[in-house]
Amino acid sequence: MDIIEKYTPSGTRDLIYEEAFAEKELENKLYRLYLTLGYKPIETPVLEYYDVFNHEQRYIPDQTIYKFTDNEGKLVALRPDNTSPVVRVALSKLKDEALPLLLCYSQPVFRNNLAFHAKRDQILQCGVELIGGETPETDLRCLFTALQTLNASGSFYKLELGHAGFFDALITDYALSENEIADLRSFISARNSGGYAFTLNMTNPAAVSLARELPRLCGSPDRVLPRARVLAKGRPGAQKILDELETTCSMLTEAGYGTSLILDLGIVQVINYYTGIVFRGYLDGVGEAVLSGGRYDHLLAGFGSDLGACGFGFNISEAAKVNPRQLPPSVPLSFADGVNSLKDAQRVLDRMGKED
């Protein structure tokens, strides 16, 4: 007789007692928050047709998607992301709803990470998607929700703001090839200015200078914006983006979130997914972003819609580790005395229900 394997596959793990309780407590807390803020809940299947994620604006590496064929021979995938499925539902079953659509979710995603990355292949993720509506108002609502999400984690947090269009607005007159632009994006994203200078062999000093300067434009808005305006001089598109970011930062600061904000203009996307404001959230004690989002109008265009959208995903699995929770005390119940024990247990539960 073969012995059944007692361990979980690579990239997965069991949650025992306090770990499971911490995730569920944070999940419930955030779900209540989103409902209070006017978002409506949505759930999508764990299985989606692969085409939902296989589009021009693909931002999830194909090799990380768990995919296989169903009993009809169609290619399906374990949900590697929540945004695309939520958009699919919004543009089909909810297409006649009033705009903007304010949607929230809490469900696991699955990604086939390389073993040496030491990342979980299954994580519990919650988030919101705001579809349609005016851009400034929608972005501000999304940012406020992101800040409240980080605050609900109970840990010291920072929200890092940037803009997907700032890089493009700066290189309009650089006359770079598509390959050079792709290289420049990669090196700036990796904060590797030296690597870009070597690759380009100094044939475009302005681009090399940008690769060195842009990653340094990170810090408090009052320090970053003046330096960024020097870089954006003579480029109206870049100046307009800085004006928008300054307005957003000012409003959030006046609302009391100033000490939680970081402006990072070195956020450069390698894949053309985000189209406007982008942001990341960090918690003290976690070595990577636990929240990531922004404006992603291009994704909806891939579904045949001209609507805009903004949203974010929050990694509950990582955030729940920050503040471990103790299991609540349980009421000792005995069932040794048959029917009398059952009646006693029911009385205890009834009394607890009245107290709640």
The number of helix segments (H) and strand segments (E) in the chain equals 12, 12
Instruction: Give the pLDDT of residue 3.
Output: 86
Contact predicate 180/207, CB 8 Å: yes
Among 268, 290, 316, give the residue marking a domain's end.
268
- In this structure, the answer to whether residues 52 and 123 fall within a common structural domain is yes
pTM: 0.91
349 part of a folded domain: no
Dist. CA 162–CA 264, nearest whole Å? 5
- Same domain for 194 and 58? no
pLDDT value for 264 = 96
Task: Note the pLDDT of residue 59.
Answer: 74
Q: What is the pLDDT of residue 44?
A: 98
Give the domain extent around 143: 1-157+279-325
Contact 292, 281 (CB under 8 A): yes
Does residue 143 share a domain with residue 170?
A: no
pLDDT number for residue 281: 97
Q: Is 238 helix (H, G, I), strand (E, B) or coil?
A: helix
pLDDT of residue 326: 86
Write down the pLDDT at residue 353: 83
Question: Residues 174, 234: one domain?
Answer: yes
Are both 170 and 289 inside the same structural domain?
A: no
pLDDT beneath 50: ranges in the chain: 202
Task: Please write the tens of the pLDDT for every residue from 268-278.
Answer: 876 678 999 99
pLDDT of residue 202: 46
Residue 129 sits in the same domain as residue 16: yes
**How high is the pLDDT of residue 296?**
92
Q: Would residue 352 count as lying in a domain? A: no
Looking at the structure of the chain, the number of domains it has is 2
User: Would you say residue 332 lies in a domain?
Assistant: no
Q: Which of 157, 136, 135, 154 is nearest to 262 (CA)?
A: 157
Q: Is residue 350 part of a domain?
A: no
Q: Residue 343: inside a domain, yes or no?
A: no
Beta-carbon contacts of 277 under 8 Å, excluding residues fewer than 6 positions away, are: 139, 143, 161, 162, 163, 164, 244, 245, 248, 294, 295, 310
Rounded Cα distance, 80 and 287, in Å: 22
Do 283 and 150 have their domain in common? yes
Kind plus residue range of the DSSP H or E element containing 163: strand 157-163
